[in-house]
Amino acid sequence: MFFFYKNSRQDRVGEGVTRRVLAHGGKMMCVEVVFEQGAIGPVHTHPHEQLTYVRSGAFIFTIGSEQREVRAGDSLYKKPHIPHGCVCLESGVLVDIFTPQREEFL
C-alpha cells in the first residue's frame, strides 16, 4: 500500500502538538508528531509497543522512572503499559511506530 503525505490529516492533539498518521496496516502504524518549543506530551500508558525516532528538535523524555534528553537521530523504545511522556526543549518532530495499531488515531 502507498500513503501520501499530502493526503494525510493533521490533528491538533494538545497545546502546540499536532499528529498525523503516516501509514497503517496489519498490526503496525507510523505516526508523525510535531511539537512546538515548550509543548508537553503528558505522561500516559497504553497497551501498544512503541518505537520513537527523533527526526528533529530536542526533548526531555520520561520512560518509567528514567528521564533523558534526546535529540535528532536518537530513538526510544516503550514497552506496553510503561508510563512515558515528554517536554519539547526545541521545536521538533517525532516519528512513532506502534504495534498493534492505535485504532483511536484512525
Ordered by start, the domain boundaries in the chain are 10-105
How would you label 28-43 residue by residue, b for 16+ Cβ within 10 Å and e otherwise?
ebbbbbbbeeebebee
Looking at domain 10-105, does it have CATH number 2.60.120.10? yes
Nearest-angstrom CA–CA distance, 100 and 26: 8
pLDDT band at 1 (very low <50, low <70, confident <90, very high): confident
Closest C-alpha among 36, 49, 35, 47 to residue 79: 49
Q: State pLDDT tens for residues 23-37.
A: 999 999 999 999 999
What number is the average pLDDT over the span 60-73?
A: 98
pTM for this one? Answer: 0.96
